[in-house]
Structures are given as C-alpha cells and as structure tokens.
Amino acid sequence: MAVGEDRAAEFHSYATNSLEEAHDAIVAHYYDLRLEVVGQAAEFETRLSVVDLGALTVGDVRFGTEMRMSFGEPGVYHVAVPFGGRFSVQEGHGVTDFATERRALVFDPARDIHIDTWSADCHALTVKIDKAAVLRQLEVLLGRSVRRPPRFGPYMDVSRGPGLSWMRLAMWNLLERNVPLGLLSHPMIRGRLEQTLLEGMLLATDHTFRDALEAPPPPMRPASVKRVMDAVQELPAESYDANRLADIAQVSLRTLQEAFRSNVGMSPMAYVHEVRLQRVHRQLRAAAPGTTTVTQVAHAWGFVHLGRFARRYRERYGESPSQTLRAA
C-alpha cells in the first residue's frame, strides 16, 4: 500500500483459547509462523488487538502461558517491546537477544526467526513495518534516491528520547480502538500518523543512513536540475534523451551533466532510469496475481530493452522483476 492512501485505519480484536484460531489471527495481520505452547496448556488464552495503518501494523498480544514461536523471512521490518514479562529473539544461528520494557528489539529477518523464551506474563507491543515504505520515506527525508534499504541496529531505546516518543505514538493508535468515530476514522489523520511513525523509526534507531539524516541539509539544487527532476517525476515514461533533458533544463548538455553529478550523484539519464525502476518496482509489488506481466509493466514505464532493464532491476533491488511480481 502506498503511504498516505485514502482510507481509514482498521481495528481488529481477538480472544481465543484455540491455538489454531490464534495462529490464523496472527497470520491474517502479520505473517505465517509456527506457534507452540510450552507452558500450562490450560492457561493458554490469546488476546490480540491490531490496528492497520497501511504501511504499518500495530498490535499488542499476550498468550497467558509460556510459548515458543518461529517463522521464516517475512520481508518486513519488525519492532517488538514487552509491556511486562520478556521474550527472546534469535535470527538463524546468531546471538539470542532479549527484549525488555526499556529496550525494544528491531529485526529485519534475512534468516529464520526463533522466539524460544516467551514468558507466561509477557504482554508485548509488536509493529510490522513495510520495507518499501521505509525506503520511500528515507528517500523523501534525504531528497535523493537510495539504492539499498537501510539496515537497522538490533535495538531501539524506548526508555527515553525519540524511542520513547515513537513507542508511545504507536501505543496511542491502539488506544483509539475504543473511541467511536475517533481521529483514526479520518483517512487524512491515518495517513499522517503512518508517515510520522515511518519517519520516527528512521530518527529513533541506529541504521546505515543515520549519519546522512543527521548531516546538514545540502544546498538548494540549481533550477536547471530541479526542472529536469520535476519533468521526469511527472512523466517518467516519456522518450527522453540527453539533448531533450538539456532543452528542459534550459542549459547546455555539459552544464546539465556536471550539475547532476555534483547535486544528484548521477547523470541525467541515470536519474531517468532510476525513477522508472522505482515506478516499475512499486507497480509489480502492488499487482494482483495474474493481472499483468513484467514485460507489460516495463514497457509502460519506458523500458524498451528488457535485458538491460532486468539487469538494472536486479542490481537495484537484489531480485529479478519476476520474483517481485510472484511475491506480490
């Protein structure tokens, strides 16, 4: 889902003593997992509340007894912090990390995830965050394209500062489930909170672009560069070449190329290809099964040579276009 899409937040609540029903409720809002009761089976009672904000799913969950869980590579970011009790997370064969009320765990599962210690008194805030939405928000904050998604550190300090603010804002969304016709029933408010939580995560955690976010903003781009960027963003599928871009910029080709390299970090035509790749990626991710093909989407956004397109796409996103489409 695109950030800011025109829809209200959606609330869901579950209470069940059935392990199968608990599994199905979690899968419906998060991702598939293996759920196992290791404590007193008679005390098992799942209580799950969820609010769907679009690019983020915010929930709180408890099971009433000791649990064990595992799941594969969901392809999303996840932040989890206990309100009480504790749990551990291990990625693959890596180090086991424990979440506490002062320290949330942040994970970007590239390997299988194992939660082997979920205490009987554990009650946790759990936030699923769409990777593509985080990448888009990072690009907005930086004012430039980013070739790889950020890699986050394992923890978020939720005892103070921006981490505490982020956690409280996420929790506020859950409290709104008890407010008939509250603010989250307005799509505009939902969209702004979605955007704020995405930006807040980038500002409240350590990641590979943190220094770039904290650096002084770059000087304003020359008007010639801005004219070209605006034109390409508006009509990326147009038939552009270097001379046409220079005409749009109202400067010489050499001047435009030098301005792009110094202000954007790439040539004007490379920028055209980058914008087109972003649009293709977004459409492939959003496509319903069987409704389109990679060739159709690539041609729609101005790619003529499919071999070059496929190579650039894999370099940019780390997978083939067909893999993205199959995962949609």
* pLDDT exceeds cutoff 80 at 183: yes
Helix axes 242-249, 223-234, angle to 10 degrees: 120
pTM: predicted TM-score of the whole model, two decimal places: 0.68
The domain boundary, picked from 178, 211, 244, lies at 211
Q: Which residue has the higher pLDDT, 78 or 140?
A: 78
Q: What is the CATH number of the domain that holds 58?
A: 2.60.120.10
State whether 34 and 156 are in the same domain.
Answer: yes
Question: 192 and 228: one domain?
Answer: no
Overall number of domains in the chain: 2
Q: Which comes out higher in pLDDT, residue 156 or 71?
A: 156
Over range 33-53, report the average pLDDT. 96
**231 and 154 part of one domain:** no
In sequence order, the β-bridge partners of residue 164 are none
Least confident window among 45-49, 105-109, 171-175: 105-109
Residue 4: inside a domain: no
Give the domain-ending residue among 185, 211, 237. Answer: 211
C-alpha 95/C-alpha 87 separation (Å) is 14
With a cut of 70, say whether residue 264 has pLDDT above it: yes
pLDDT 10s digits, 148-163: 889 999 899 999 999 9
List the domain range (segments joined by +) for residue 95: 10-211
For the chain, give the mean pLDDT: 90
CA 209-318-145 angle, 5° bins: 40
Average pLDDT on 207-213 reads 92
204 and 233 co-located in one domain: no
> Does the pLDDT value for residue 109 go beyond 70?
no
Q: Which of the listed residues 182, 211, 240 is the one where a domain comes to its end? A: 211
Asked whether residue 216 is domain-assigned, the answer is: no
Is 188 found in the same domain as 116?
yes
Among candidate residues 272, 290, 182, 194, the one with its CA nearest the CA of residue 234: 272
